């Protein structure tokens, strides 16, 4: 776990990010939304929603998205179940009941301020496909442009493992990328990221600032989620990493009624994860989040260095092995022979062709494939994002 000072002029207090933000994503976990009796925690959420709208109305062209968990926790008592369900059909049934209750609450509380609450239910498939991602983006823009508050949750009723994002922390990071948010706030039942699970270790200390979210040792100390939570602190750290790679800072803080005011006033609270100075843009943002890779391309040390450190495209001469079956245009993982992930990218050749040309020089390729092309890059650098582990080397010099 690292607590390094940030050497650059990037703001290291959440207040500056919040003040300057135009787009904000706030995620509330199940324990924030639902009490032990299966009721909405209106005492907490009413003021929280109200301060969110105060922030939106505090400057022109601001918009906020709420990512809200709680459908299952609200739904199972209403469905007459004795305890939180453990089977998928029961969880899905509970979510179907609870999601309606959740939206009824948000419509009422946001409606008091004249703001429509817009239910947006997403699965990983909606963000995996570039065309669907763009549709979702346009819908969000339309909602924000008209002053609605999108209330996002995973589409639990239909989501099975293959199409699940899996937890709402990651979903919130994906939504932050989708709307090009300036700040992601993950609210939970804990002050922020600690050096150890504070429920188990009383000596655990709060980490106020994470300057390098890509640091692989970060998260080594995280324990299990709380009784209502799904992903726990691990998924929050992962979400913060995703956001950081995409140039978005993340604050993890305790969900208090006045938490946004406290952040805005500059009071130190929570853990702030700084964005990577090499924040991705456009297609690369999407690519970094593309959850399913169609195959793996093993590349040699020279190619890994060219791609990761010199910002070059991947050429056939650097390809050592091709794993899996995929078509041209698929997303593949690039790894070294030792298995270290270099990045992911959109490949210009199908697996079968790539096997024929691996290790060969560009001038040999027309003869091998029996056709000519204007470019022979296997993965063009514009279609490539580096793995978090390879980012810091470039960040230092940036
Ligand atoms: N290193 C850590 N720092 C902070 N919290 C941790 C850590 N390890 C485990 N936790 C636990 O993670 C819980 C928050 O995650 P979770 O229960 O999933 O919340 P939510 O429902 O808000 O998403 C906290 O209650 C805390 O006990
Ligand atoms: N989609 C689920 C929540 C999933 C989830 O990630 O929950 P949490 O860890 O409490 O944010 C629901 O609405 O019940």
User: Is 6 a member of any domain?
Assistant: no
Pair 276, 308 in one domain: no
Average pLDDT of span 147-165: 86
Q: Over the chain, what is the mean pLDDT?
A: 88
Question: 397: pLDDT confidence band, cut at 50, 70 and 90?
Answer: very low
Pair 305, 220 in one domain: no
Pair 165, 21 in one domain: yes
- The pLDDT assigned to 247 comes to 86
Question: 396: pLDDT confidence band, cut at 50, 70 and 90?
Answer: very low
- Comparing CA positions, the residue from 387, 306, 311, 319 lying closest to residue 347 is 319
Give the residue numbers spanning the domain of 387.
293-397
CATH of the domain at 346: 2.30.130.10
User: Is 312 a member of any domain?
Assistant: yes
Question: 190: pLDDT confidence band, cut at 50, 70 and 90?
Answer: very high
With a cut of 60, say whether residue 352 has pLDDT above it. Answer: yes
User: Is 36 a member of any domain?
Assistant: yes
Pair 347, 370 in one domain: yes
Angle at 150 between CA 148 and CA 152, to 5 degrees: 170
| Cβ-contact 369, 338 below 8 angstroms | no
Pocket of ligand 1 (CB under 6 A): 29-32, 188-190, 193-194, 196-199, 221-223, 225-226, 228-233
Pair 233, 368 in one domain: no
Q: Where are the beta strands (DSSP E) in the chain?
A: 23-28, 63-68, 117-122, 149-154, 183-188, 209-210, 250-254, 271-273, 295-299, 319-323, 331-335, 341-346, 384-386
With a cut of 90, say whether residue 77 has pLDDT above it. Answer: yes
Pair 258, 393 in one domain: no
Higher pLDDT, 292 or 146: 146
Answer with the one of 280, 304, 326 that is the final residue of a domain.
280
Q: Counting atoms of ligand 1 from 1, which one is nearest the CA of 167? A: 23
Q: Whose CA is nearest to atom 11 of ligand 2?
A: 29
Pair 96, 192 in one domain: yes
Average pLDDT of span 298-313: 94
Q: How many other CB atoms are found less than 10 A from the CB of residue 202?
A: 7
What crossing angle do the helices spanning 88-111 and 71-78 adopt, rounded to 10°? Answer: 110
CATH of the domain at 77: 3.40.1160.10
Q: Coil, strand, or helix at residue 183?
A: strand
Burial profile 8-23: b = 16 or more Cβ within 10 angstroms, e = fewer: eeebbbbbebbbebeb
| ipTM for the whole complex | 0.95
- Say how many domains are in the chain: 2
With a cut of 80, say whether residue 288 has pLDDT above it. Answer: no
Q: Count Cα neighbours of 340 within 13 Å in the Cβ-side half-sphere.
A: 13
Pair 267, 375 in one domain: no
Pair 276, 298 in one domain: no
230 lines ligand 2 (CB under 6 A): yes
Higher pLDDT, 4 or 109: 109
Q: Counting atoms of ligand 1 from 1, which one is nearest the CA of 188? A: 22
Q: Counting atoms of ligand 1 from 1, which one is nearest the CA of 231? A: 18
Q: Where are the beta strands (DSSP E) in 217-364?
A: 250-254, 271-273, 295-299, 319-323, 331-335, 341-346
User: Is 287 a member of any domain?
Assistant: no
- The pLDDT assigned to 299 comes to 97
Pair 191, 68 in one domain: yes
Nearest-angstrom CA–CA distance, 211 and 92 = 38
Higher pLDDT, 287 or 230: 287
Token pair, residue 320, equals 């050592």
Mutate to test the pocket of ligand 1, among 233, 235, 256, 270 (most ligand atoms within 8 A of CB): 233
Under DSSP, the state recorded for 6 is P
Question: 130: pLDDT confidence band, cut at 50, 70 and 90?
Answer: confident
Query: H or E stretch including 130?
Result: helix 130-145
With a cut of 60, say whether residue 390 has pLDDT above it. Answer: no
With a cut of 60, say whether residue 79 has pLDDT above it. Answer: yes
In the chain, pLDDT over 90 holds for what percent of residues? 63
Strand pairing class (271-273; 209-210)? parallel
Residue where the block lists tokens 């890994």: 304
Pair 120, 245 in one domain: yes
With a cut of 60, say whether residue 3 has pLDDT above it. Answer: no
Q: How many other CB atoms are found less than 10 A from the CB of residue 189?
A: 15
User: Is 228 a member of any domain?
Assistant: yes
């Amino acid at each position: 776990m690292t607590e390094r000072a940030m050497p650059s002029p990037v703001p290291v207090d959440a207040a500056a990010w919040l003040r300057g933000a135009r787009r904000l994503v706030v995620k509330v976990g199940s324990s924030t939304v639902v009490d032990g009796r299966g009721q909405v925690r209106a005492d907490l959420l009413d003021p929280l929603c109200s301060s969110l709208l105060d922030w939106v109305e505090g400057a022109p062209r601001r918009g906020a998205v709420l990512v809200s968990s709680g459908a299952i926790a609200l739904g199972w008592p209403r469905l007459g179940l004795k305890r939180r369900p453990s089977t998928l059909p029961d969880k899905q049934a509970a979510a179907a009941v609870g999601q309606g209750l959740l939206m009824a609450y948000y419509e009422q509380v946001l409606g008091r301020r004249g703001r429509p609450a817009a239910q947006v239910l997403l699965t990983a498939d909606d963000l995996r496909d570039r065309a669907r991602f763009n549709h979702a983006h346009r819908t969000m823009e339309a909602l924000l442009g008209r002053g609605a508050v999108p209330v996002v949750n995973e589409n639990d009723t239909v989501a099975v493992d293959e199409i699940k994002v899996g937890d709402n922390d990651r979903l919130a990071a994906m939504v932050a990328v989708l709307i090009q948010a300036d700040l992601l706030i993950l609210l939970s039942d804990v002050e922020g990221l600690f050096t150890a699970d504070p429920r188990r270790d009383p000596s655990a200390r709060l980490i106020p600032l994470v300057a390098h979210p890509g640091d692989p040792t970060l998260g080594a100390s995280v324990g299990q989620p709380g009784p209502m939570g799904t992903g726990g602190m691990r998924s929050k750290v992962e979400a913060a990493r995703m956001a950081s790679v995409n140039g978005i800072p993340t604050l993890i803080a305790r969900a208090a009624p006045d938490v946004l005011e406290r952040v805005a006033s500059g009071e130190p609270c929570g853990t702030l994860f700084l964005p990577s100075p090499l924040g991705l843009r456009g297609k690369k943002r999407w690519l970094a989040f593309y959850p399913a890779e169609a195959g793996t391309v093993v590349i040699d040390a020279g190619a890994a260095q060219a791609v990761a450190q010199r910002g070059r495209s991947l050429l056939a001469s650097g390809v050592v092995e091709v794993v899996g079956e995929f078509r041209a245009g698929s997303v593949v993982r690039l790894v070294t022979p030792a298995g270290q992930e270099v990045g992911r990218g959109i490949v210009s050749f199908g697996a079968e062709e790539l096997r024929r040309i691996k290790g060969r020089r560009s001038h040999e390729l027309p003869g091998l494939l029996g056709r000519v092309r204007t470019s022979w890059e296997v993965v063009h650098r514009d279609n490539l994002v580096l793995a978090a582990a390879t980012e810091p080397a470039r960040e230092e010099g940036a």
